[in-house]
Structure 1
Amino acid sequence: MAALLRAMLRLAGPAAWRRPVCGLWCRPGQDPGRRVGSRTPTLKEKPAGTETEKFQMVYRFDAIRAFGYLSQLKVAQTALTLLALPPGFYWYSHGLVTLGSLCFAGGIAGFALAMLCWMSHFFRRLVGILYVNEAGTVLRVAHLTFWGRRQDTDWPVADVMPMTESADRPQELFVRLQQYSGKQSFYLTLRYGRILDRERFTQVFGMLDTLK
C-alpha cells in the first residue's frame, strides 16, 4: 500500500497536490465543510447540533482525489469482470470455450473481487481533510466511501486518542486516527499531507516535536 501511495502521488504530480481543496471536492462557492456527490450524513455520523457550526480546516491530503478516481475505476473494472462470467458459462455449455479458459476467467474475476475488497478497506479509511469546529469539541473527518465518493464523519474530540498516546510515529508513512471507544479508525499521512492549522491540530492530537 505504501508503494501504491507513492505511485499515485507521482501520477497526480506536485501541481495537483497544491490545488485548493474546493477544486478537489467542492463546487465553486460551496462551503468546503460540506460534501459533493455523496449521501446526506446520518445521525450516527454527525452529532446533534453540528449542522450549523463552522469548521476550520486543519489538515488536508490533496491527492485524495486521485485515490477516489482509482477506487471508482476499480469498482467499474471488477463489475465488468464479473459480468463476463455468465456469457463464459453459456459459451462453455455450448462447447465454444474450454474448461481451462472458463477457470482462468473465473480466477481473474475472483482476484479482481479480492483486490477490490482489500483496496476499498484501505481507501475508506484514508483521510482527505480534517476539520475542527470553533469550540474545539468536534473533529470532522472527510474520507472516501466504497464508491470513491466523499463522506464526512464527526468524532467528539474527547474520544480522539492523541498521537502522543499511539504506538505510531509521525515519521511513518501512515498514522492511525483512533478513538478511545475503539469504534472506528482512519489513516492519515503526515509525510505527504499538510497541517494547515498547527495550533488546532495540536489541541486535538497532542504536541509532536516531529510534526511538519
Structure 2
Amino acid sequence: MAAFLRAVAPPPGPAAWGRRLHRLCCCGGQDPRRRVGSGPAPSREKPPGPETEKFQMVYRFDAIKAFGYLSRLKVAQTALTVAALPPGLYCYSQGLMPVSSLCLAGGVAGFALAMLCWMSHFFRRLVGILYVNEAGTMLRVAHPTFWGRRQDTYCPVADVIPMKESPDWPQELFVRIQQYSGKQTFYLTLRYGRVLDQERFT
C-alpha cells in the first residue's frame, strides 16, 4: 500500500522547488535552525590601554615588601584582639572577670582598630616602584593594598604636580605625589629609595 501511494503521489510543484532553491542559496544546504546563534564569535581581545604598554622602572623602594608583611601582621593582630572581646564579655557576665579587665580589653581592641585604620591609610599610599612608559606620558605606581598585596595605579604624567610646585622638600623623609585632579596622593621617600633613571624620574 505504501509503494502504491508513493507511485501515485503528484510531483512537487514549482512552489516546493522554489522553497528548496531558497534554502540552498541562503543557508548553503544546511538547516536554518542549526545556524541560529552561529555567527562569528565576538573578539575577546582587550582594547589598547596602559596595561598593554611597555614601562620602564625609574624608582624603587626595597623595603616595600617589609611594609606589606607588616600590614598583614597588623590585620591579623587586630582580628585576634577584637575576637577576644566576646569571650571577655562572657567571662564578665559569669563573674570570672572584673570590670577593669573588661575595660582594658575593650581599650586595647579600640586602639588596635584605630592603629589599623591609620597604618592602612598610610601603607596603601606608600610608593614601592615607579614606572614610566616609553612616551613619558603615563606613570604607573606600585603600592600595597589593605591586605599587603601589590596594586598598580596609573596616573597621567600631565596630571602629576611637579615637585618644584609642591610644598614638600626632597630632603624630607616622605614626599607627596599629588595630582591636579586630586584623585589620590602617594608618599615617596627619596632618602631610602633608589632612583634608577634620573632623567625619566625628573
Give the TM-score range, shorter chain: 0.7 to 0.9
TM-score normalized with structure 2 length = 0.75
How far does the alpha carbon of each residue in 1:59-84 deviate from its partner, in whole angstroms, 9 at most, with x for none?
A: 00000011111111000000000000
How many angstroms does 1:104 deviate by?
0.6
Aligned residue type for 1:137:
T
Consecutive unaligned residues of structure 2, counting only runs of 5 or more, are 1-46
Alignment of structure 1 residues 1-212 onto 2, 5 Å: 49-202=49-202
How many angstroms does 1:96 deviate by?
1.0
Looking at structure 2, the residues matched to 91 and 48 of structure 1 have their Cα atoms a distance apart, in angstroms, of: 60
How many angstroms does 1:119 deviate by?
0.9
Equivalent position SS for 2:132? strand
Looking at structure 1, the residues matched to 49 and 69 of structure 2 have their Cα atoms a distance apart, in angstroms, of: 32
Looking at structure 1, the residues matched to 160 and 92 of structure 2 have their Cα atoms a distance apart, in angstroms, of: 55
Equivalent position SS for 2:51? coil
Indicate the percent of aligned positions where both proteins have the same amino acid. 83
Aligned residue type for 2:66:
A
Aligned residue type for 1:77:
Q
Runs of 4+ in structure 1 displaced over 4 angstroms?
none
Normalized per residue, the structure richer in helix is 2
Looking at structure 2, the residues matched to 146 and 165 of structure 1 have their Cα atoms a distance apart, in angstroms, of: 30
Q: Which moved more, 1:89-98 or 1:78-87?
A: 89-98
Task: Find the counterpart in structure 2 of residue 207 from structure 1.
Answer: none
Looking at structure 2, the residues matched to 165 and 195 of structure 1 have their Cα atoms a distance apart, in angstroms, of: 20
Task: Find the counterpart in structure 2 of residue 24 from structure 1.
Answer: none
Q: Highest Rg: 1 or 2? A: 2
How many angstroms does 1:180 deviate by?
0.7
Consecutive unaligned residues of structure 1, counting only runs of 5 or more, are 1-46, 203-212
Equivalent position SS for 2:190? coil
Looking at structure 2, the residues matched to 130 and 84 of structure 1 have their Cα atoms a distance apart, in angstroms, of: 40
- The CA RMSD measured in Å over matched residues stands at 1.1
Looking at structure 2, the residues matched to 123 and 186 of structure 1 have their Cα atoms a distance apart, in angstroms, of: 9
Provide the aligned length of Structure 1 versus Structure 2: 156
Task: Find the counterpart in structure 1 of residue 16 from structure 2.
Answer: none
How many angstroms does 1:48 deviate by?
5.9
How many angstroms does 1:183 deviate by?
1.4
How many angstroms does 1:148 deviate by?
1.0
Looking at structure 2, the residues matched to 48 and 80 of structure 1 have their Cα atoms a distance apart, in angstroms, of: 45
Equivalent position SS for 1:152? strand
How many angstroms does 1:135 deviate by?
1.1
